[in-house]
Amino acid sequence: MNPTRSPHRVALITGAGREKGIGAAIARRLAQVNVSLILTDLCAAPSDHPLAPQGGQWQTLQHLADELTRSADIQTLPLQVDVTDRNAIGNMIEQIQAAFGRLDILINNAGVAVGPAPVAQMDPSAWQRTLDVNLTGTFYVTQAALPMLIQTASQTGRGRIINMASLAATHPKPFLAAYAASKAGVVAFTRALAQEIAQFGITVNTLLPGDIDTDFKHWGLQLESMVRRQEYEEVLQAAIAQIPVGRLGKPEDVAAVVAFLCSEEADFITGQAINITGGRELVQATMPK
């Protein structure tokens, strides 16, 4: 399939295997504007720990791909990929080349928060795994995808990379030092890369979602309720009270910004870290003791 003759733009989205996650919402939003999709996730076995966040599952990824293929005139390709495995990433790029022959958009959405704990008690393996997925994984996938992104941009005049950071990058909470450090690294990586590849017509931006209504967020609130020794609903309402617009964000709020950044209207926006928080960063947080 020749990049100049393919009927649709093509986007790769990592971390798309959670049914109510941000990755799935981005996929549905891009499908609405006829973007063909490669949907990936680690698809690890579900954890039996009651407080462990559940990752994306292969069945969910397949279901999402089938749903979008039926509802939109696009191609989809679901793949099980570990973003910390360079060989697996290389195989993924080969499959994308064979199936689509082009890549217009990369959404680095895969992310974890392993073993939240005070720094003095943090398991070094939890620190390393968090950075491996969130920061190094973003680097690995981007580096592998760049040749195809540049090749496509040389034909179409534009390309897009959007990296998922977090409000934690600029407003870190206690017990999440590894997560915050990894997401701050994503912001710095984005700003450096944006300068390197602007010459090819490829923009690079990062998003900093705040409190988004996902299973991942509710897992974090459960942990916070344990730390604060408060009821979950009390912790949830306290979090909402610190958001000026008065609600949790929706995955679709993030997806809408992604869709804009992928459009022609965003050609002059690059190297930016964009808050999607409902104004949360404007309010002084209360911290657990």
DSSP codes joined into one string, 228-270: HT--HHHHHHHHHHTSTTSS-B-HHHHHHHHHHHTSGGGTT--
Task: Order across the sheet with 36-41: list the strands.
Answer: 76-80, 36-41, 10-13, 105-108, 159-164, 202-209, 273-276
Q: Distance (Å, rounded) from C-alpha 31 to C-alpha 262?
A: 12
Residue type present at position 179: Y
Token pair for residue 20?
A: 């109510």
Specify whether 179 is catalytic. yes
Catalytic site residue from 127, 175, 179, 189: 179
Among the listed residues 139, 134, 133, the one whose alpha carbon sits nearest the alpha carbon of residue 190: 139
Give the integer Cα–Cα distance in Å for 50 and 169.
Answer: 27
According to DSSP H, which parts of 112-169 are helical?
124-131, 137-156
Q: Are the C-beta atoms of residues 51 and 218 closer than 8 Å to each other?
A: no
Q: Which positions are catalytic? A: 179
